[in-house]
A and B are shown apart, each in its own frame.
Chain A
Amino acid sequence: MLKIHALAPETRVASSLSCVEILVALYYGEILNYNPQDLSDSQRDRFIISKAHGVVSLYPILADLGFFDEIEITKVCQSGAKLPGIPDMMTPGLETINGSLGHGLGVACGIALALKRQNKSQKVFVLIGDGELYEGSVWEAIMFAGEHKLDNLVAIIDNNKVCMLDFCKNIINMEPLDQKFIAFNWQAERIDGHDVEKVYNRLSQMKNETDKPKMLIADTIKGKGVPSLETDSLSHIRILSPEQVAQALKALPL
């Protein structure tokens, strides 16, 4: 991810670093059933990436798993490249177009409803940003999923607590977040979003839990791994210099 950012500084590095462990658990933990050879495989679980601006960290994973050639991640954002700064449905492995926030959960509700009405066993996962929760359309979907007991739906909030211009608590404080979802008939719980083992264990259980839609609030740090970003209220818009990227890579516990 950091290497991509060095080549494509337009990418949102801090947002993409907060959800790395979530993506690793979903893909390498094989919580998601996916098929790079057949992107429309009816047996696949559907993964809707609603905070699409902040998942450039997904590119190396998809390349590694064979969704597209690894050479593509060296060309992100370049003229004529296959991979844009914000992935969309033309990117192999993505189901929908997002980027504008607040759309993913509603579309995921429609997919979950369709699968339930057709008695299909595949699950629907959605990745949402916490700042995205300010969009009213998210709450239309929250109400809908709870009312219709869409228990084949698992939403994960990358709760990195920073919007574009400030910490979320200074804009509109949404805490206690879990209680808001519980009030709308969701099962909601919190987890350390950087503890990949815990995230894996909980998601693999939640996938098959029944009765209610499920919300995993993953407490994360925006810009995780890059100290200068981790405490910065403006981390969303920061662009790291090649030197800062090199320094951050050196500091990673590999």
Chain B
Amino acid sequence: MTTQKRMRDVFITKLYEQMSKNKKIFFVAADFGSPKLDAFKADYKDHFINVGIAEQNLINVSVGLALEGYTVYCYAIAPFLTMRPYEQIHNNVSLLSHGKKLNINLVGVGAGLSYDVSGPSHHCLADISAIRSLPNLTVFSPSDCSLVEAMVTYSMENKHPKYFRLDGKPTTTLYDTVDQLLLKRGFAELLRGQKVVLVATGFMTHTAKVACQHLVDRGVQAGLIDVFKIDDSICEELGEKLAGYEFIVTLEEGFIRRGGLDSLITLVTSRNQTVFSIGFNNKHVFDVGNREYLHKINKLDAASIAQRILKEGVK
């Protein structure tokens, strides 16, 4: 049986390990935890603070710490981290980092429909487009815990603002190892296809992998690219990778046609290529159920995705 790990635990465990050699780390939480955070709090209490359920102050206090040279991690539930204090992120992270060096790392837990049964107030479907629209911030959307672990190292070595959108549920491993070069590139080709390629991010990369198998069963050799750094800096190389494909399917557990992954992909494709976006199209998710159920009724499960692609006439 494949081991499953939670991204937040891997992130915090790796950060805990770094504390022995880097005393300029500060962890700021908005009353949100993790079993692994308990050890961090106990052993490095001078490097931790809980601001309470106060996301605006979470960002502002973190910015103050970063101005004084700390590498800061702001930790909260992803939709609350990115939406409630949006102006604090806009002014004190995006604008301020134009003139000041700020190594501030927004760490949000609960990407996409991670908080499935909690309903639409807890769903996180607009965070990629919301944060990506701001200059000076880089969005990371990992699909597995190997990427998450490497991202902690990246976050310390690259001293600028970043947003890490972590899945809330235990995740299976896709990568044996991840080096810093791979993180810098921002994407990986997991399967090489012929005419069609699925380009996915976060949790949807796992679904896309299964969808590719469905397509193979129907005689279509589909490629799979996992995008974990949603940033303009990956465009050139990603464009080169996509150049050989005729039909490109984007898959995200978020709103489509709203500035998310699909928008990035349209920047790197040509008129000769067809881009088909799969995600939530101009609707919130009020259906009640677990993630598997929500995906199924919204045609985001692997079988439905394969069918939708075949229906588009892909061979």
User: Which residues of A are interface residues toward B (Cβ below 8 A)?
Assistant: 88-90, 95-100, 102-103, 105-115, 117-118, 136-137, 140-141, 143-144, 148
- Chain A residues contacting B66 (CB-CB under 8 Å) are 110
> Are the C-beta atoms of A114 and B70 separated by less than 8 Å?
yes
A118 to B23 CA separation, bound complex (whole angstroms): 10
30 contacts between A and B (CB under 8 A): A88-B99, A89-B96, A89-B100, A90-B99, A95-B67, A97-B99, A103-B91, A106-B59, A106-B61, A107-B67, A107-B92, A110-B67, A111-B64, A111-B67, A112-B64, A113-B61, A114-B26, A114-B65, A114-B68, A114-B70, A115-B68, A117-B26, A136-B56, A140-B54, A140-B56, A140-B57, A141-B60, A144-B51, A144-B52, A144-B54
- Identify which of B49, B52, B91 contacts A143 (C-beta below 8 A): B52
Quick one: closest A residue to B23, CB to CB?
A118
- The A-contacting residues of B in range 37-75, CB under 8 angstroms, are 46-47, 49, 51-52, 54, 56-57, 59-70
A108 to B57 CA separation, bound complex (whole angstroms): 11
Given contacts A114-B65, A140-B51, A140-B54, A103 and B100 within 8 Å (CB-CB): no
> Are the C-beta atoms of B95 and A97 separated by less than 8 Å?
yes
CB of B87 within 8 Å of the partner chain: yes
How far, in Å, is B56 (CB) from chain A's closest CB?
4
- Chain B residues contacting A117 (CB-CB under 8 Å) are 26, 46-47
How far, in Å, is B134 (CB) from chain A's closest CB?
14
- Identify which of B52, B64, B70 contacts A107 (C-beta below 8 A): B64
- Identify which of B46, B60, B96, B100 contacts A106 (C-beta below 8 A): B60
> Are the C-beta atoms of B88 and A110 separated by less than 8 Å?
no
A108 to B65 CA separation, bound complex (whole angstroms): 9
- The A-contacting residues of B in range 113-132, CB under 8 angstroms, are none
- Chain B residues contacting A136 (CB-CB under 8 Å) are 56
- Identify which of B47, B56, B64 contacts A137 (C-beta below 8 A): B56
A117 to B26 CA separation, bound complex (whole angstroms): 10
User: Which residues of B are interface residues toward A (Cβ below 8 A)?
Assistant: 26, 46-47, 49, 51-52, 54, 56-57, 59-70, 87-88, 91-92, 95-96, 98-100
A221 to B80 CA separation, bound complex (whole angstroms): 39
Determine the main DSSP class of A at the interface with B: helix
> Are the C-beta atoms of A144 and B96 separated by less than 8 Å?
no
- Chain B residues contacting A148 (CB-CB under 8 Å) are 49
Quick one: closest A residue to B72, CB to CB?
A110
- Chain B residues contacting A97 (CB-CB under 8 Å) are 91-92, 95-96, 99
- Chain B residues contacting A113 (CB-CB under 8 Å) are 49, 61, 64-65
A95 to B96 CA separation, bound complex (whole angstroms): 9
- Chain A residues contacting B69 (CB-CB under 8 Å) are 114
- Identify which of B52, B64, B96 contacts A108 (C-beta below 8 A): B64
> Are the C-beta atoms of B46 and A110 separated by less than 8 Å?
no
> Are the C-beta atoms of B56 and A89 separated by less than 8 Å?
no
Given contacts A89-B100, A106-B57, A117-B46, A100 and B91 within 8 Å (CB-CB): yes
How far, in Å, is A155 (CB) from chain B's closest CB?
14
A103 to B93 CA separation, bound complex (whole angstroms): 12
Quick one: closest B residue to A105, CB to CB?
B60
Q: Which 4 A-B pairs have the closest CB atoms?
A: A110-B64, A106-B60, A114-B68, A140-B57
- Chain B residues contacting A88 (CB-CB under 8 Å) are 95, 99
> Are the C-beta atoms of B64 and A114 separated by less than 8 Å?
yes
> Are the C-beta atoms of A144 and B61 separated by less than 8 Å?
yes
Of A89, A90, A106, A109, chain B has the most CB atoms within 10 Å of the CB of A106
- Chain B residues contacting A110 (CB-CB under 8 Å) are 60-68
> Are the C-beta atoms of B63 and A107 separated by less than 8 Å?
yes
- Chain A residues contacting B59 (CB-CB under 8 Å) are 106
A31 to B106 CA separation, bound complex (whole angstroms): 35
A9 to B68 CA separation, bound complex (whole angstroms): 36
A177 to B222 CA separation, bound complex (whole angstroms): 66
- Chain B residues contacting A111 (CB-CB under 8 Å) are 64-65, 67-68
- Identify which of B57, B67, B70, B87 contacts A144 (C-beta below 8 A): B57
Quick one: closest B residue to A91, CB to CB?
B99
> Are the C-beta atoms of A100 and B87 separated by less than 8 Å?
yes
A109 to B46 CA separation, bound complex (whole angstroms): 15
> Are the C-beta atoms of B60 and A109 separated by less than 8 Å?
yes
A137 to B64 CA separation, bound complex (whole angstroms): 15
Given contacts A95-B67, A103-B92, A109-B57, 13 further A-B contacts (CB under 8 A): A105-B60, A106-B63, A107-B61, A107-B64, A109-B61, A110-B67, A111-B68, A114-B65, A136-B56, A137-B56, A140-B54, A140-B56, A144-B61
- Chain B residues contacting A115 (CB-CB under 8 Å) are 68
A119 to B41 CA separation, bound complex (whole angstroms): 20
How far, in Å, is B103 (CB) from chain A's closest CB?
13
A112 to B98 CA separation, bound complex (whole angstroms): 22
Quick one: closest B residue to A115, CB to CB?
B68
Given contacts A90-B99, A111-B67, A137 and B60 within 8 Å (CB-CB): yes
Quick one: closest A residue to B53, CB to CB?
A140
A144 to B46 CA separation, bound complex (whole angstroms): 16
- Chain B residues contacting A144 (CB-CB under 8 Å) are 51-52, 54, 57, 61
A148 to B50 CA separation, bound complex (whole angstroms): 11
A141 to B52 CA separation, bound complex (whole angstroms): 11
How far, in Å, is B46 (CB) from chain A's closest CB?
5
